[in-house]
């Protein structure tokens, strides 16, 4: 498989930090021009953009957008076209993640979790579809192993990611044959920075992972890169979880 992305342009939502930044770095290292979307992490996005452009001039740009805003999908596509003249790879990575107890779910929780994990990826994909088809491009959605096996305490998040998994397969049919659509389903990769999982729970999760460790953002980035290059793969969701989904 040819893993070069030279001449291609990619958009990574939530691309300034953590897993998104690892994906952006991997695609850029493979030769792609990269548009880094961010909402609040402007300094991180600027540093990443500067590093990419220092390595390869005019190979990166950044764009600020609130993905729940109706104008966001068009703004993102226009930023890619203005910056690079094309879009070949869309990575829907941006995601909100927090627990909500059943019985206490409010419309604001629905708007944030369903909005960021399902609605925004759908409307961005819809906006970008014609451009991606023109270039025989692809979409890679960052799903979650809990789309298939819900995480207790995170019912609404699990529902949102289940919708994204279904959307991935549906768009693979709708946009074929010119656009491939796949997903990556991470397991325990980068713990939330707000301490959602206590140390004991982290130990339990690792102990129920056959490879007996957490993964890294680079593990997800490598999977995204593979799917961006795998020209005869569509409608698939690749679990990158150390085997945990076969245990839980």
Residue 195 has pLDDT above 80, yes or no: no
**245 domain-assigned:** no
pLDDT tens digit string along 113-162?
Answer: 999 999 999 999 999 999 999 999 999 999 999 999 999 999 999 999 99
**2 domain-assigned:** no
pTM for this model (two decimals): 0.96
Residue 188 has pLDDT above 90, yes or no: yes
The CATH number given to whatever domain includes residue 121 is 3.40.50.720
**79 domain-assigned:** yes
SS3 11: strand
pLDDT tens digit string along 221-237?
Answer: 999 999 999 999 999 99
Residue 138: its H or E element: strand 138-142
Rounded Cα distance, 94 and 71, in Å: 17
**247 domain-assigned:** no
Rounded Cα distance, 217 and 20, in Å: 8
- Position 194 confidence tier, pLDDT thresholds 50, 70, 90: confident
The span from the first CA to the last CA of the chain, in angstroms, equals 33
Containing structural domain, residue 188: 9-239
Catalytic residue among 38, 154, 157, 232: 157
pLDDT tens digit string along 1-43?
Answer: 689 999 999 999 999 999 999 999 999 999 999 999 999 999 9
The total of structural domains in the chain comes to 1
Query: For residue 29, what pLDDT is reported?
Result: 98
**4 domain-assigned:** no
Partner residues linked to 142 by β-bridges? 184
**1 domain-assigned:** no
* 157 belongs to the catalytic site: yes
**3 domain-assigned:** no
**93 domain-assigned:** yes
Query: For residue 192, what pLDDT is reported?
Result: 82
Mean pLDDT on 187-208: 88
Average pLDDT, the chain: 96
């Amino acid at each position: 498989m040819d893993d070069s992305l030279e001449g291609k342009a990619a958009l990574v939502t939530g691309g300034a930090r953590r897993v998104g930044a690892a994906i952006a770095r991997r695609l850029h290292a493979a030769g792609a021009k990269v548009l880094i979307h961010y909402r609040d992490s402007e300094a991180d996005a600027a540093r990443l953009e500067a590093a990419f452009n220092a390595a390869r001039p005019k190979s990166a740009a950044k764009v600020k957008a609130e993905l729940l805003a109706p104008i966001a999908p068009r703004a993102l596509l226009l930023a890619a076209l203005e910056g690079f003249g094309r879009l070949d790879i869309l990575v829907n990575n941006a995601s909100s993640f927090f627990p909500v107890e059943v019985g206490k779910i409010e419309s604001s929780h629905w708007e944030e979790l369903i909005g960021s994990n399902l609605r925004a990826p759908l409307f961005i994909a819809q906006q970008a579809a014609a451009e991606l088809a023109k270039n025989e491009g692809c979409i890679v959605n960052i799903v979650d192993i809990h789309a298939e096996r819900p995480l207790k305490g995170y019912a609404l998040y699990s529902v949102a990611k289940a919708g994204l998994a279904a959307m991935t397969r549906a768009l693979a049919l709708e946009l074929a044959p010119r656009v491939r659509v796949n997903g990556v389903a991470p397991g325990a990769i980068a713990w939330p920075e707000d301490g959602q999982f206590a140390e004991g729970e982290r130990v339990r999760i690792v102990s129920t992972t056959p490879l007996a460790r957490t993964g890294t953002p680079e593990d997800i980035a490598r999977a995204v890169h593979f799917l961006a290059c795998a020209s005869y793969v569509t409608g698939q969701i690749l679990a990158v979880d150390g085997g945990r989904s076969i245990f839980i």
